[in-house]
C-alpha cells in the first residue's frame, strides 16, 4: 500500500508541477495584475491601485457583458436542443455502421481547424456568395442586407462551432441508456413524448450537464468568432481583452477584464458540480431509505 | 501431508469484519473447496492467499514457510480469476507463456513447455488466437494452462464456472476434475454452488459471515451437518425440535410435538429432558399408501396427508402434512414409475424412517429454515 | 437488440439530417469554390486547379506549415508523456489530494482559450521582466516570446486532453489483469510494460492524435504567446483572412478537411477496437 502511493506521487508529480506553474499560477497572476497600474510602454507598472478596477465602469461594458451573457446562453440552449434529439436518434439507430458514420460526420467538423470553419462561414455568408444570391432571388431579404458582420452571424457560427461539443457528451450517456425503459413506459400507457420527457431526459441528465459546461463556458470566452464574422456592434468580452492586449497595450486592464470573465467561468463550473453532488447525495439518500 | 495453512486469519474493512479468526489446513494434492453464500468472506480469503490483500491478523503458511508478507509475484500460488483475466492483447500462446517470460525463463524452455500445456488443455490448435476469439470454456482452459505452466504448489480457482452456462459448467467440472488428476497440484476452489463443491472436492470448508461453520468431506457434510446452516445450505432437509424422554443404550426416545415418540441414534449423548434439534434428509423417508411393517424398534412411522407433489423424472418430491409439521420427502423411482400406483395430492400416506438416519445438530438457528426449499402453502 | 419501431416520431431524424446539412453546407461551398477559377465564390467561371498550384508555391505557407508541425510534434510528445503519467496517477490514487489534482487536470478542458492565452502571456511577461536581465547576464540568452513559449503553452493545454482520453481507457481497464500478471510472477515494471501499457496504448495513441490536432488547430493561445515574427498556419490563415478572403484559403481548407477525415477515422478505429476484441 505504502509503496504504491509512493509510485503514484512520482507518476503525478511532473504533470502536477507543470500545471501549477503554467496553469494555476498564471491564473493567480491575472487576478493580481488587475490591481496594478499600466506603464507607458505597454508593460506593468509598480505599486498597487484600484484604478484599473474603476475603469471597468466604462459605459460600453455593460452592453458587451450582457451580449456575451445572452449569446452564450442562447447558443448553449440551441446546441442542447439540437444535440438531445440527435443523440436520441443515434442511440436508437440499430445499424452500428450507420451510427458510426453519422457520429463520424458530426465529429469531423469538431476536429477541423477552427479557423477553416470560420473561414467557410465567411465564404458562405459572403455578400457575393451563392447563398446570399439565393436568398435575394427568392425574396427573403433585400439586396442591401448584409449576412456577415452582425451578431446573428456571430451566433450562427458559435452554434455551428459548439454543436459537436454538445452532441459528444450527451451521446456518450445516451448510448448506455436502457431503451426498454421507454418501452415499459409506453406499455404502461405513456405517450412517446411523455416517455421522452419523463424517462429519457432524466436518464441522460448527466450528459446534458456536461454539455452545458463544455458549451457555455467556452462560449463566454469566444473571441475569434466575433472578431472575424462580427461587426463593431457585436463585440464580446473576449474581443475587448484582446484589444486591450494587442491594441492599447494595457495589460492590467486586460487582466481586470479577464478576472471578470473568470468569474463567469468558474461560477457556473462550481455551481454545476455542486448541483451534481447534491443530486448524487439525494440519490444515495433515496436508495438508503429503501 | 499439509501444504497450506491459514492461522487465525482476520480481515476487516472499516467496521465490517469480513473474516473472523479463520484457521484451516489444506492437504497436498487435494481439491479443497471454500463454500458459502455471497458475502461470506470466501473470496477475501482467496485474495489473502493469493497475496492481493494482506490480512489484519493471522498467518498464511505455504509448505512450512510463512508467506503472509510475501508479495503476490513471489508466491508459488497461482490464481484462476473469475473473469479469467486473460491479457486481451496477447494470443493464447503468449498468455500461456507469460508467467515464464515474466520470471526470465529461457526461450528454449518456454518453447518446450508451452506446447505441452496447450496440449494438456487441448488448445494446441488455438495457439494463435486472441482471447476475444475464444469461447468461455476455452478461455477458462487458457487461464488454467497459464497458471499451471509455472508449476505452482497451489492453484486458486475463484468461482471459475460462474461465467459459464449450465451445460458447459457441468462439462468443465468434469474436465477440471480430470485435469486435477493429471497434474496432481493442490486446488483451492471457491464457489457458492454446493453441487459444484460436492462433486469436485476432497474437503469442503463451509463459511458463513466470515467464520468457518464446518470442514469435512462432502459425505460428512451432507450426512453429519454440525449446524442447521450447513444442513440447509448443502442439500435439502427437514428440521425438528424435540425433547429426549428416555435413553436405551446408543439410542434415545425423542418427544416431538404432535408425533408419536420417535427412536433416534443418540450420538451426541444428549441427556434425558434436554431439548434437541434434528435434521432428516428428504430421501431418508420412505413414502407409501399402505402402512409399512415395523421391522424392529428402530423403525419410526408417521401418518400424514400429501400437500404438494413435484415430479422430477428420476425422483418425485412430496410435501407431507403431519399435524403442524410439513415434511419434505423424496422418492427415487427405482422401478418403472408408470406401473406403480402414483401418490397424488390429498392422499393419506405413511412415512417411515430408521433411527440411524436422523442427525442431531450442535447448533440451530431458526433463520436457516429460510434456506430450505419449501413451497408457500 | 434495439428494435426499431415504426411509430417513432420523425422529428429526431429530421433534426439530425438538418444539423448535418447545417454542418456541411458551408464546407461544401468552400470545396466547390476551391475549384472555381473566379476569385470570388459568387459566380462559377470554370473549373480550375490554380488555387491548389498557388498554395503549393507559396513560401509563406510552407514556412507556416513547418513551424506548425515542429510545434505540434514537440508538444504532442511531451503532452502525451505528461498526460499519460497523470492519467495513471489519477487512476491509481484514492486519497483526498485526488480531487484537487483532478480539478487541476480537468478545468483546462473548459477554460476559454482566451483566458489560457492571456494568463500565460502575463506569466511570461512578468517572469521575463523580473529576471530577464539576470538570465541574460548568466546564460547569455535573451528571454522573449517565441517558439519556446508557444510550445510550453501547447503542452499545457494538450496535456489535459491526453490525460482525459487515457483515463477513459484506463477506467475500462480490467484491474484483475494486473493482479493476474503479479500472480504469474511478473514484477511491477514488467507488468506495466507488458500488460498495462499495451492495453491502454490505443488510448495513448488516440490522446496523442488528439493533442496533435489541437496543437495544429490552435490560434488564440498561440496568438497571445507568440513572438513578433512567428507564424503558424492558423496565424497565417487569420492574417490573410483579415485582408479579405483570398481564394487560396479555399484550397487550403479542402486539404485540411481531407487530413482531418483521415485523422478522425484513424482515432475512431483505435478507440473502438476494444469492442471488437471483447465480443
The verdict on a CB contact (< 8 Å) between C122 and A255 is: yes
Let me know whether B166 and B251 are in one domain: no
The verdict on a CB contact (< 8 Å) between A11 and C263 is: no
Burial A131-146 (b: 16+ CB within 10 A, else e): bbeebeeeeeeeeeee
Let me know whether B314 and B283 are in one domain: yes
Let me know whether B55 and B188 are in one domain: yes
Res. A89: pLDDT tops 80: yes
Lowest mean pLDDT among B160-164, B208-212, B254-258, C24-28: B160-164
Q: Going by DSSP bridges, is the β-strand pair B359-360/B275-280 parallel, antiparallel, or unpaired?
A: antiparallel
Q: Does residue B321 lie in a domain region?
A: yes
Q: Which of A223-232, B70-79, B289-298 has the highest mean pLDDT?
A: B70-79
Distance CA A210, CA B356 (A): 70
Q: Going by DSSP bridges, is the β-strand pair B77-80/B154-158 parallel, antiparallel, or unpaired?
A: parallel
Residues of chain B above pLDDT 90, percent: 52
Distance from first CA to last CA of chain B, Å, rounded?
51
Task: Show which subunits contact C, needing at least 3 CB pairs below 8 angstroms.
Answer: A, B
Res. A1: pLDDT tops 60: no
Span B17-42, pLDDT tens digits? 999 999 999 999 999 999 999 888 89
pLDDT recorded at residue C156: 94
pLDDT recorded at residue B62: 93
Average pLDDT of span A254-277: 83
The verdict on a CB contact (< 8 Å) between B131 and C277 is: yes
Distance CA C82, CA B7 (A): 46
Distance from first CA to last CA of chain A, Å, rounded?
35
Pick B85's closest partner by Cβ from C177, C276, C277. Answer: C177
Q: Does residue B221 lie in a domain region?
A: yes
**What are the cell numbers at C246?**
483570398
State which residue of chain C sits closest to A8, comparing Cα positions: C89
Nearest-CA distance from B66 to chain C in Å? Answer: 17
Res. C146: pLDDT tops 50: yes
Span A104-161, pLDDT tens digits? 888 888 788 888 888 888 888 887 777 877 888 887 788 777 788 888 899 999 999 9
Res. B368: pLDDT tops 90: no
Q: State ipTM.
A: 0.83
- Residue C184 C-alpha from the chain's centroid: 39
Span B233-262, pLDDT tens digits? 998 899 999 999 989 888 999 999 888 888
Residues of chain B above pLDDT 70, percent: 99
Let me know whether B164 and B234 are in one domain: no
Distance CA B69, CA A280 (A): 39
C191 to chain B: which residues are within 8 Å by CB?
102
Res. C78: pLDDT tops 50: yes
Res. B281: pLDDT tops 90: yes
C188 to chain A: which residues are within 8 Å by CB?
7
pLDDT recorded at residue C278: 40
Let me know whether B240 and B210 are in one domain: no
Distance CA B19, CA B13 (A): 10
Query: In total, how many domains does chain C have?
Result: 1
Picking from C179, C182, C183 by the largest number of B CB atoms within 10 A of its own CB, the best residue to mutate is C183
Q: pLDDT category, A33, cuts 50, 70, 90?
A: confident
C243 to chain A: which residues are within 8 Å by CB?
none
Q: Does residue B376 lie in a domain region?
A: no
What domain range includes position C195? 59-277
Pick A89's closest partner by Cβ from C13, C156, C224. Answer: C13
Picking from A12, A101, A167 by the largest number of C CB atoms within 10 A of its own CB, the best residue to mutate is A12
| Apex A258 CA angle, A275 and A35, nearest 5 | 115
pLDDT recorded at residue A140: 78
Instruction: Please say whether the beta carbons of B322 and B259 come within 8 A.
Output: yes
CATH number at residue B15: 3.40.50.300
Q: Does residue C147 lie in a domain region?
A: yes
Nearest-CA distance from C200 to chain B in Å? Answer: 10
Res. C276: pLDDT tops 60: no
Nearest to C127 by CA among C116, C138, C119: C119
Pick A23's closest partner by Cβ from C11, C108, C129. Answer: C108
Q: Does residue C189 lie in a domain region?
A: yes
pLDDT recorded at residue C41: 56
Last residue of a domain, one of B202, B228, B254: B228
Let me know whether B238 and B203 are in one domain: no
Let me know whether B189 and B237 are in one domain: no
pLDDT recorded at residue C5: 45
Which of the pair, A112 or C278, is modelled with greater confidence?
A112
Picking from C185, C193, C272, C278 by the largest number of B CB atoms within 10 A of its own CB, the best residue to mutate is C185
State the DSSP H helix or E strand holding residue C121, giving kind and residue range, or none if neither: helix C113-139
Q: Does residue B143 lie in a domain region?
A: yes
Q: Given CB atoms, is B284 within the 8 Å cutoff of chain C?
A: no
Picking from C82, C119, C128, C226 by the largest number of A CB atoms within 10 A of its own CB, the best residue to mutate is C119
Nearest-CA distance from A176 to chain C in Å? Answer: 12
Let me know whether B198 and B275 are in one domain: no
Let me know whether B245 and B342 are in one domain: yes
Average pLDDT of span C19-48: 81
B158 - beta bridge partners?
B190
Distance CA B233, CA B369 (A): 10
Q: Does residue B117 lie in a domain region?
A: yes
B13 - beta bridge partners?
B16
pLDDT recorded at residue A25: 92
Res. B225: pLDDT tops 70: yes
Q: Does residue C7 lie in a domain region?
A: no
State which residue of chain C sits closest to A211, comparing Cα positions: C110
Let me know whether B101 and B224 are in one domain: yes
Q: Rounded mean pLDDT of chain A?
A: 84
Longest dimension (CA), chain B: 76
Q: Does residue B296 lie in a domain region?
A: yes
What domain range includes position B120? 2-228
How many CB pairs (< 8 A) connect A and C?
Answer: 267
Strand order in the sheet with B251-255: B262-265, B251-255, B238-248, B275-280, B359-360
CATH number at residue C143: 1.10.3720.10
pLDDT recorded at residue C273: 59
Query: In total, how many domains does chain B have?
Result: 2
Burial C18-52 (b: 16+ CB within 10 A, else e): ebeeebeebbebbbebbbbeeebbbeeeeeeeebb
SS3 string, chain A, reads CHHHHHHHHHHHHHHHHHHHHHHHHHHHHHHHHCCCCECCCCCECCCCCCHHHHHCCCCCHHHHHHHHHHHHHHHHHHHHHHHHHHHHHHHHCCCHHHHHHHHHHHHHHHHCCHHHHHHHHHHHCCCCCHHHHHHHHCCCCCCCCCCCCCHHHHHHHHHHHHHHHHHHHHHHHHCCCCCHHHHHHHHCCCCHHHHHHHHHHHHCHHHHHHHHHHHHHHHHCCCHHHHHHCCHHHCCHHHHHHHHHHCCCCHHHHHHHHHHHHHHHHHHHHHHHHHHHHHHHHHHHHHHHC
Q: Rounded mean pLDDT of chain C?
A: 84
pLDDT recorded at residue C3: 43
Phi and psi at residue B330, to the nearest 5°: -120, 135
Span B162-201, pLDDT tens digits? 878 888 888 888 888 888 888 889 999 999 989 889 989 9
Let me know whether B159 and B92 are in one domain: yes
Q: Does residue C26 lie in a domain region?
A: no
Nearest-CA distance from C194 to chain B in Å? Answer: 9
Let me know whether B38 and B165 are in one domain: yes
**What are the cell numbers at A113?**
481547424
Q: Does residue C215 lie in a domain region?
A: yes
Last residue of a domain, one of B208, B228, B248: B228
Last residue of a domain, one of B211, B228, B245: B228
The verdict on a CB contact (< 8 Å) between C268 and A115 is: no
For residue A192, give every residue at least 6 positions away whose Cβ sits within 8 Å of its Cβ, in sequence order, or none: A186, C7, C8, C9
Q: What's the pTM?
A: 0.80
Q: Does residue C27 lie in a domain region?
A: no
Lowest mean pLDDT among A246-250, B116-120, B327-331, C23-27: A246-250
**What are the cell numbers at B296?**
424392529
Count the helix, strand and coil residues of chain B and give each as a percent rounded to the nearest 5: 30, 35, 35
The verdict on a CB contact (< 8 Å) between C182 and B99 is: no
Amino acid at each position: 500500500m505504502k509503496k504504491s502511493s509512493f509510485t503514484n506521487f512520482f507518476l503525478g508529480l511532473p504533470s502536477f508541477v507543470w500545471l501549477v506553474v503554467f496553469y494555476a499560477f498564471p491564473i493567480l497572476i491575472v487576478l493580481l495584475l488587475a490591481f496594478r497600474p499600466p506603464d507607458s510602454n505597454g508593460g506593468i507598472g509598480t505599486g498597487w491601485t484600484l484604478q484599473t478596477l474603476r475603469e471597468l465602469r466604462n459605459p460600453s461594458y455593460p452592453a458587451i457583458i450582457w451580449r456575451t451573457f445572452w449569446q452564450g446562453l442562447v447558443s448553449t440552449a440551441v446546441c442542447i436542443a439540437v444535440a438531445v434529439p440527435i443523440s436520441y436518434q443515434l442511440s436508437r439507430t440499430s445499424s452500428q455502421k450507420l451510427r458510426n458514420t453519422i457520429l463520424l460526420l458530426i465529429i469531423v467538423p469538431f476536429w477541423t481547424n477552427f479557423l477553416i470553419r470560420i473561414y467557410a462561414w465567411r465564404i458562405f455568408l459572403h455578400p457575393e456568395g451563392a447563398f446570399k444570391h439565393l436568398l435575394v432571388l427568392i425574396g427573403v431579404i433585400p439586396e442591401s442586407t448584409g449576412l456577415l458582420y452582425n451578431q446573428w452571424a456571430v451566433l450562427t457560427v458559435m452554434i455551428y462551432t459548439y454543436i459537436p461539443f454538445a452532441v459528444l457528451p450527451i451521446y456518450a450517456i445516451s448510448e448506455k441508456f436502457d431503451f426498454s425503459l421507454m418501452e415499459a413506459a409506453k406499455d404502461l400507457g405513456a405517450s412517446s413524448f411523455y416517455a421522452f420527457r419523463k424517462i429519457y431526459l432524466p436518464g441522460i441528465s448527466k450528459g446534458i450537464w456536461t454539455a452545458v459546461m463544455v458549451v457555455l463556458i467556452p462560449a463566454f470566452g469566444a473571441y475569434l468568432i466575433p472578431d472575424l464574422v462580427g461587426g463593431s456592434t457585436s463585440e464580446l468580452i473576449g474581443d475587448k481583452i484582446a484589444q486591450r492586449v494587442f491594441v492599447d497595450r494595457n495589460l492590467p486592464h486586460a487582466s481586470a477584464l479577464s478576472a471578470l470573465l473568470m468569474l463567469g467561468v468558474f461560477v457556473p463550473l462550481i455551481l454545476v458540480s455542486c448541483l451534481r453532488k447534491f443530486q448524487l447525495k439525494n440519490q444515495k439518500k433515496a436508495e438508503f431509505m429503501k | 501431508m499439509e501444504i497450506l495453512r491459514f492461522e487465525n486469519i482476520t480481515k476487516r474493512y472499516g467496521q465490517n469484519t469480513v473474516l473472523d479468526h479463520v484457521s484451516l489446513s489444506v492437504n497436498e494434492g487435494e481439491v479443497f473447496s471454500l463454500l458459502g453464500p455471497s458475502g461470506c468472506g470466501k473470496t477475501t480469503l482467496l485474495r489473502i492467499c493469493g497475496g492481493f490483500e494482506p490480512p489484519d491478523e493471522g498467518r498464511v503458511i505455504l509448505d512450512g514457510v510463512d508467506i503472509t508478507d510475501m508479495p503476490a509475484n513471489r508466491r508459488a500460488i497461482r490464481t484462476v480469476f473469475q473473469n479469467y483475466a486473460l491479457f486481451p492483447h496477447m494470443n493464447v500462446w503468449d498468455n500461456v507463456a507469460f508467467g515464464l517470460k515474466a520470471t526470465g525463463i529461457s526461450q528454449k524452455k518456454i518453447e518446450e513447455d508451452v506446447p505441452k500445456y496447450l496440449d494438456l488443455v487441448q488448445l494446441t490448435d488455438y495457439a494463435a488466437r486472441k482471447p476475444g476469439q475464444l469461447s468461455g470454456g476455452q478461455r477458462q482452459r487458457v487461464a488454467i494452462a497459464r497458471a499451471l505452466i509455472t508449476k505452482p504448489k497451489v492453484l486458486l480457482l475463484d468461482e471459475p464456472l460462474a461465467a459459464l452456462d449450465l451445460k458447459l459448467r457441468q462439462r468443465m467440472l468434469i474436465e477440471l476434475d480430470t485435469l486435477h488428476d493429471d497434474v496432481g497440484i493442490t486446488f483451492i476452489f471457491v464457489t457458492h454452488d454446493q453441487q459444484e463443491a460436492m462433486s469436485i472436492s476432497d474437503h469442503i470448508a463451509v463459511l458463513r459471515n466470515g467464520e468457518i461453520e464446518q470442514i469435512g468431506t462432502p459425505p460428512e457434510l451432507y450426512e453429519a451437518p454440525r449446524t442447521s446452516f450447513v444442513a440447509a445450505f448443502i442439500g435439502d432437509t427437514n428440521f425438528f425440535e424435540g425433547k429426549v424422554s428416555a435413553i436405551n443404550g446408543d439410542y434415545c426416545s425423542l418427544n416431538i410435538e404432535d408425533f408419536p415418540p420417535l427412536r433416534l441414534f443418540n450420538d451426541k449423548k444428549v441427556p434425558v429432558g434436554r431439548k434437541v434439534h434434528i435434521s432428516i434428509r428428504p430421501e431418508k423417508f420412505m413414502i407409501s399408501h399402505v402402512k409399512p411393517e415395523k421391522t424392529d424398534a428402530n423403525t419410526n412411522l408417521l401418518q400424514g396427508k400429501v400437500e404438494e407433489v413435484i415430479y422430477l423424472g428420476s425422483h418425485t418430491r412430496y410435501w407431507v402434512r403431519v399435524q403442524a409439521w410439513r415434511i419434505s420427502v423424496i422418492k427415487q423411482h427405482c422401478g418403472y414409475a408408470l406401473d406403480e400406483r402414483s401418490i397424488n395430492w390429498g392422499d393419506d400416506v405413511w412415512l417411515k424412517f430408521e433411527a440411524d438416519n436422523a442427525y442431531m445438530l450442535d447448533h440451530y438457528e431458526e433463520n436457516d429454515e429460510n434456506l430450505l426449499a419449501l413451497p408457500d402453502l | 437488440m434495439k428494435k426499431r419501431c415504426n411509430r417513432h416520431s420523425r422529428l429526431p431524424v429530421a433534426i439530425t439530417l438538418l444539423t448535418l446539412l447545417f454542418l456541411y453546407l458551408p464546407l461544401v461551398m468552400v470545396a466547390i469554390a476551391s475549384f472555381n477559377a473566379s476569385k470570388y465564390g459568387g459566380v462559377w467561371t470554370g473549373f480550375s486547379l490554380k488555387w491548389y498550384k498557388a498554395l503549393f508555391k507559396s513560401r509563406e505557407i510552407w514556412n507556416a506549415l513547418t513551424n506548425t508541425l515542429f510545434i505540434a510534434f514537440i508538444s504532442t510528445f511531451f503532452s502525451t508523456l505528461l498526460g499519460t503519467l497523470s492519467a495513471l496517477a489519477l487512476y491509481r490514487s484514492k486519497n483526498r489530494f485526488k480531487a484537487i489534482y483532478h480539478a487541476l487536470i480537468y478545468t483546462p478542458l473548459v477554460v476559454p482559450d482566451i483566458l489560457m492565452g492571456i494568463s500565460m502571456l502575463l506569466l511570461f511577461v512578468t517572469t521575463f521582466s523580473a529576471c530577464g536581465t539576470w538570465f541574460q547576464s548568466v546564460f547569455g540568452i535573451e528571454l522573449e516570446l517565441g517558439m519556446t513559449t508557444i510550445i510550453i503553452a501547447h503542452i499545457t493545454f494538450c496535456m489535459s486532453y491526453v490525460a482525459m482520453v487515457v483515463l477513459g481507457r484506463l477506467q475500462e481497464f480490467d484491474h484483475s489483469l494486473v493482479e493476474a500478471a503479479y500472480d504469474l510472477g511478473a514484477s511491477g515494471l514488467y507488468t506495466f510494460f507488458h500488460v498495462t501499457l499495451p492495453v491502454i496504448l490505443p488510448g495513448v495513441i488516440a490522446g496523442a492524435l488528439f493533442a496533435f490536432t489541437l496543437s495544429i488547430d490552435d490560434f488564440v493561445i498561440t496568438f497571445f504567446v507568440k513572438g513578433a515574427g512567428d507564424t503558424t498556419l492558423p496565424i497565417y490563415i487569420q492574417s490573410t483572412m483579415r485582408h479579405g478572403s483570398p481564394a487560396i484559403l479555399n484550397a487550403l481548407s479542402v486539404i485540411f478537411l481531407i487530413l482531418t477525415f483521415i485523422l478522425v477515422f484513424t482515432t475512431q478505429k483505435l478507440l473502438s477496437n476494444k469492442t471488437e476484441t471483447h465480443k
